[in-house]
Chain A
Amino acid sequence: MVLSRSQRQDLRTGFTANLVVSASVAAYGSVLGLMAAQKGLTWYQLLVMNLSVFAGSAQFVMVDMWLPPLPVAEIILAVLVINMRYLLIGASLSPLFRDTSLKHKFLFMHLVADENWAMTMARYYKGPTTTWFLLGGGLCVQAAWCFGTLLGHRLGAVITNPERYGLDFSFVAVFTALVFSFWKGRQDVLPWLVAAAVAAVSESLMPGKWYIVCGGVAGALVAALMPPKGASND
C-alpha cells in the first residue's frame, strides 16, 4: 500500500501527539511486565498478548488471574466485561470512519486504545481529523506498551522477593490509581458502593474470580436503574 503525502503527515502527527501519554503508558506497562514475570509468563507470551489483546486494564486482570490451572473461561469472560467500553468507543468513532472501506475499518480498529482514542476525539472536535491520525497514535501507544512491559519483565526476572518491596501490593495500587479516572461525580456513589459490597460478599462465597464480574455488573445495573442525572430534585 502506498500512502499519500497527507496520509503520511497525519500518521506522523498522530504518533507525535501521543508521545507524552505514551511515556506514562510505558511506565504503567513496566508494572504489568513485573507482575507477569512473577506469574511465570514468558516474555514472548507477554509480547503476543500485547500485540493481540492490546488493552491495559484487561491485561492487568488477565495477569492477576494467571494461576495454574489457567481459568480460561473466567479470564476471557472478565476481559469481555472489562472491554465492553470498546463497543462505545468504537461507536463513537463512526463519523471518523464514515467514508472508509470495510477493509480499512477492520485494519484500523485493532490499534484503538483509550489514549489515542481520547487524543483523536479531542482533535476531532476542533477540526478535521482522519483515521491515519488515530492509527499513528495507536502505533505510538503500542510501541510504548511493548517497550514498557518487556522492560518490566526483565526486571521482574531479577527481583526474587517481591513482597519485600511491596510489589505484591502493586496490583491494588494500580487499580486504585486508575479507578478514579472513571469517577464522574455524585451519580457514581451508589453504583460504586453496591459494586464494592457485592464484590466483597461474592468473593467470600464463590470460588475463582467471579466476584469481579458479579460486583461490576451489579454496580452498573444500579447505575442503569437509577433516574438519569438531572431527573431527581436534589
Chain B
Amino acid sequence: MISQNLDLLVWLTIFGAAAVTYSLRIGGLLLAGKLPKTGRFKRFMDALPGTILLSLIVPAALAAGPIGWLATLCTGLCSLKTGNVFLSMIVGIVIVAGGRLYGF
C-alpha cells in the first residue's frame, strides 16, 4: 500500500512537470502576439535562467568545503574560457575526486 502511494507520487511529479513544461512551450507560441517583447517583463524573463541556476549552485557549493570551492572556481573559469560545458564539468569532478584521494 505504501509503495503504491510512493509510485503514484513519482508519476504525479513526472507528469506534473511535463504538463507545466509543455504548457509553457505551446503557451509561448500561442500567446506570442500578447507577450511584451521589451521592457521589464522581458528583462525579468531573460534574467531568470541564469539567476535560477546560480541559486541552485551557491548553497551547495558553499557547503562543499575548500576543495569544493576550488573545484567550483575552476569549473566556472573553464566554462567561461572554453564554453565547453562537458569539459568544465569533468574538471570540477576530477578536482573533487583528486582532493578526496589525497585526503582533503
Contact = CB atoms under 8 A, between A and B. Distances in A.
A194 B40 CA distance: 17
Contact of A166 (B24, B25, B79, B93): B93
Interface string A103-128: 00110011010000000000000000
Interface of B: 6, 9-18, 20-22, 24-33, 35, 37, 39-62, 64, 68, 71-72, 75-76, 78-80, 83, 85-86, 88-100
Contacts of A217: 48, 51
Contacts of A220: 44-45, 47-48, 51
Contacts of B51: 191-192, 194-195, 215-220, 223
A183 B36 CA distance: 22
B97 A164 contact: yes
B14 A196 contact: no
B89 A212 contact: no
A87 B62 CA distance: 32
Interface of A: 24, 27-28, 31, 41, 45, 48-49, 52-55, 57-58, 61-62, 64, 68-70, 72, 75-76, 79-94, 97, 105-106, 109-110, 112, 163-167, 169-184, 188, 191-192, 194-196, 198-200, 203-204, 211-226, 228
Minimum-distance CB pairs A-B, first 6: A90-B28, A215-B55, A219-B51, A173-B92, A166-B97, A223-B47
Q: Choose among A178, A181, A188, A198 the residue with the greatest number of B CB atoms under 10 Å from its CB.
A: A178
B59 A109 contact: no
B83 A181 contact: yes
Contacts, number: 289
Contacts of B71: 166, 169, 172-173
Contacts of A83: 20-21, 24
Contact of B14 (A49, A84, A177, A192): A49
Contacts of B62: 200
A91 B68 CA distance: 39
B55 A24 contact: no
Given A175-B56, A195-B51, 8 more contacts: A48-B11, A82-B49, A82-B52, A177-B75, A179-B50, A181-B83, A196-B54, A222-B47
Chain A contact surface mostly: helix
A167 B95 CA distance: 11
Contacts of B98: 166
Nearest to B99: A166
B64 A182 contact: no
